[in-house]
Structure 1
C-alpha cells in the first residue's frame, strides 16, 4: 500500500496528512477520501438532475429561456442544496469505504493484528471534520453567492416579479439604535437608488422595559438615504402633544442603514454567507429585527464539522461486523436509516428553534451532538462488547 503523498491523485494532501508516517492510517485515509469524493459526486449528480427538472418545469412556459440558461440557473441553485445533503455523502462514503475494506478481509487482518477500531475510524472522522471546516469557511460563502445570483436571475427571467421591488412599489424600512426605533414608509424610484417619495417616518422611543413609545411623525415629499443620515425635502413634524411644526425645506435624520443594502430585499438565510452572519445578526438586533433565523443558521454552520464527523463515524460503525458472520446488509440499511432519522431530527430541532420552543443554540447544536454520542456509544459497544 502506498502512502497518500505517493499517490498522483492525492499528492497535494501529503503535507496535510497528520498520519503521513503511519502507513495504516494513511491507507485508510486514502480509501475514505476516495469514497467520500465518489459519494459526493453521486449526491451532486442527483441534485443537478432534480434541480434541472424543477427549473425546466417552472420556466417551461417561457419560450425565450434556452437550455443553456436553465443549466446556468441549475449550477447557481444546486450548490446550496448539495451542502444540505453533504452529511449523507459522508455517511454513504464511510459505509462504502469500510464495507469494501471488510469485503477484502483487510479489516479482519487489522483486527487480528490487534488494531483498535478507534484507530481506523479516527482518520475518517478527522477528515470529515476538516472538510466541515472547509465547508463553512469556503464552500458556504460560494454557495451563498451563487444562490443570491440565482434569485436575481430568476427575478430577471420572471418578468411578473420584479427584482427587489415590493408589492405596489411601497418600501418599508426600520432602523434603530437600542434607544430609538424609526419605521419608514415610502414609494421607491428605481432610477434613483436610495431615493423615496411620499415618505413617512414614525419615531418611537424605547423605555427601560424595551417597550416602544410613539414620539412623533415626520412626513416628507422626498427622502434620500446617504451614508450616516437621511436627507428630507419639504418635511413636516407632528408630535403627540404639540401642533405640527412649520415645513422644513431640508431636514436630516441620523441613520445607521447602509445605502448599498437597505433597499435590497430581505436576505434569506440561504443567500447569506457564513462570514456575514455575525455582522448581520448585530445589525438586525440593533435595528429591532428578529435574528432567530440568522442565529440558527450560524449555530448550524458552526456545528457542521461535528455533524460530518459524526455521520462518518456512524457509517464506519455499521460496517465493522465481519462479513463471514452475516447480517452486513441489515447493518448497512440500519446505518442509512439512522442517518435519515438524524436528518429529520435536525429539521425538527430547526423548526422548534425558529418557533422559540427551545433555545437557538440548542436547536443548532443538538443534532450534531446527539449523532456523535450515538456513534461513540455504538463504537464502544462494538469494540468492547
Structure 2
C-alpha cells in the first residue's frame, strides 16, 4: 500500500534530518578548519610584518575570516553531508526498508528539504548580519597591508572618484550624513592630461559646496617641491554620494543597503550591472542548500549490492560541482550585463532544480 502523506513517520523524519544535519555540520567544521589553517599560513607573514602586530592580530584575522569561509562553503558542505548520509542509508539497506513500507523517494527527501529551508533562512540572516561586516573589515584591513584601520562600522576602502580631469582616491570612507568623512585622501590634479600636483590629506570632511582637508601635504610636480598646510578647501562640487556609489561591492553591504544604493545609482544615471545581480544572488545563494539533498539523492536509491554506490555518489558530487560552476558563470555574465540580473541570479537554481528532480525520478525507477 502506497503512503500518500507528504512526510514519512515522525521517527523516520527526525532520524534522517539528524543524519543530514550532523554530517553536514561535521563536513563544514572540517573544511573550515583546514582552509582557515592554509589561509592563515599564507597571510600570517604579512600580518606579523607590520610593526606592533602580534598574536592578537592573528586571532583577529581568524575571527574575521571564519564567517566568510563558513558562508562560502556551507552549500558544498551540505552536499557532501547529504551524500555521506545517503550512502550510509543505502549500504545498510535502510532506504530499501523505507520503500518497502510504502515511502516514496520524495517522502524520504521531504524532511531534508524542510531542514534545508531552515538552514537557508539562518544563512541569509548570518550573511546579512555577520558576514558582510567581517568582509568589510577584513577587506579594509588587507587593503591597508594589515596596518591600523580607522574604527568605523560603515567603512569602505580604496575608493576612486573622477572629478573633471582629476583623480581622487580615498583609502577609507565612513559615516553617514553629517558624520561622513574620508581618511587618507589623495587628489591627483592633472593639466592637459599631465600630472601637475598631488594633494594628500589625512582627513577630508564635506562642508558646503566643497571639502575641508586636514593635515595636507602638496607636491608640485612643476616646481618639484613639497608644501604642508594644516587645512585647505578643495573638491568643489564633489558630493559624498560619488564616493559611496563609486564602489558598490555586493559582498560588503547588506541586502537593504545594497537595494538603497542601487536606487541611488539609478537616480544618478550610473550603471547597476554589477550590483543588481548581486542583490538577487543574496537570496538565491542561501537557497542553494535546498538543491543539495535533491542533487545528492542519486546516492540513496538503487541497490547497494550492485556495487554502484560510489559511482552514484560521484555523480551526485559532480552535479553539485556543476551547479557551483554554473552559478559563478551566470553571476559573472550578469555583472558584465550579458544576462539580465534576475536570470543571472536564478537561472542556475531553476535549471539544477529540474535536473535534480529528473535524476531523482530516474533513480527511483
TM-score, normalization by structure 2 = 0.72
Change in CA separation of 1:50 and 1:184 when aligned onto 2, cut-off 3 Å: same
Other-structure match for 1:115: 103
Task: State whether structure 2 residue 287 is matched by structure 1 residue 299.
Answer: no
Displacement after TM superposition at 1:173 (Å): 6.3
Change in CA separation of 1:122 and 1:231 when aligned onto 2, cut-off 3 Å: same
Secondary structure of 1:85's counterpart equals helix
Displacement after TM superposition at 1:130 (Å): 2.1
- 1:147-201, CA deviations, whole angstroms, 9 ceiling, x for partnerless residues? 111123334554599996769xxx6368xxxxxxx999779899x964899999x
The whole-number CA distance in structure 2 between the counterparts of 1:262 and 1:281 is 14
- 1:284-308, CA deviations, whole angstroms, 9 ceiling, x for partnerless residues? 2222332222211112122134421
Task: State whether structure 2 residue 90 is matched by structure 1 residue 102.
Answer: yes
TM-score, normalization by structure 1 = 0.69
- 1:36-89, CA deviations, whole angstroms, 9 ceiling, x for partnerless residues? 211221222233123212212444644643233123213212322332222211
Secondary structure of 1:292's counterpart equals coil
The whole-number CA distance in structure 2 between the counterparts of 1:76 and 1:114 is 49
Other-structure match for 1:136: 124
Change in CA separation of 1:256 and 1:327 when aligned onto 2, cut-off 3 Å: same
Q: 2:161 aligns with which of 156, 172, 178?
A: 172
Unmatched 5+ stretches in structure 2: 1-5, 173-178, 190-203, 213-232
Displacement after TM superposition at 1:119 (Å): 0.5
Q: 1:81 aligns with which of 69, 74, 77?
A: 69
Secondary structure of 2:209's counterpart equals strand
Other-structure match for 2:356: 375
After superposition, residues 193-272 of structure 1 pair within 5 angstroms as 194=181, 225=206, 230=209, 257=240, 262=243, 266-272=247-253
- C-alpha contact 1:95 1:332 (8 A) present in aligned 2: yes
Change in CA separation of 1:54 and 1:224 when aligned onto 2, cut-off 3 Å: closer
Change in CA separation of 1:275 and 1:378 when aligned onto 2, cut-off 3 Å: same
Other-structure match for 1:350: 331
Change in CA separation of 1:143 and 1:197 when aligned onto 2, cut-off 3 Å: closer
Secondary structure of 1:172's counterpart equals strand
Other-structure match for 1:361: 342
Answer with 312-321 or 141-150: which moved more: 312-321
Task: State whether structure 2 residue 130 is matched by structure 1 residue 151.
Answer: no
The whole-number CA distance in structure 1 between the counterparts of 2:18 and 2:186 is 63
Displacement after TM superposition at 1:335 (Å): 1.4
Task: State whether structure 2 residue 58 is matched by structure 1 residue 70.
Answer: yes
- C-alpha contact 1:31 1:97 (8 A) present in aligned 2: yes
Change in CA separation of 1:25 and 1:158 when aligned onto 2, cut-off 3 Å: closer
Change in CA separation of 1:115 and 1:75 when aligned onto 2, cut-off 3 Å: same
- C-alpha contact 1:51 1:78 (8 A) present in aligned 2: no
Answer with 73-82 or 139-148: which moved more: 73-82
Other-structure match for 2:254: 273
Task: State whether structure 2 residue 303 is matched by structure 1 residue 315.
Answer: no
CA RMSD of aligned residues (A): 3.9
Task: State whether structure 2 residue 13 is matched by structure 1 residue 25.
Answer: yes
Aligned residue pairs, count: 312
Secondary structure of 1:65's counterpart equals coil
Other-structure match for 1:338: 319
- C-alpha contact 1:311 1:371 (8 A) present in aligned 2: no
Task: State whether structure 2 residue 306 is matched by structure 1 residue 325.
Answer: yes
- C-alpha contact 1:187 1:197 (8 A) present in aligned 2: yes
The whole-number CA distance in structure 1 between the counterparts of 2:99 and 2:23 is 21
- C-alpha contact 1:19 1:26 (8 A) present in aligned 2: no
Change in CA separation of 1:141 and 1:295 when aligned onto 2, cut-off 3 Å: farther
Unmatched 5+ stretches in structure 1: 1-17, 175-181, 201-222, 234-249
- C-alpha contact 1:311 1:372 (8 A) present in aligned 2: no
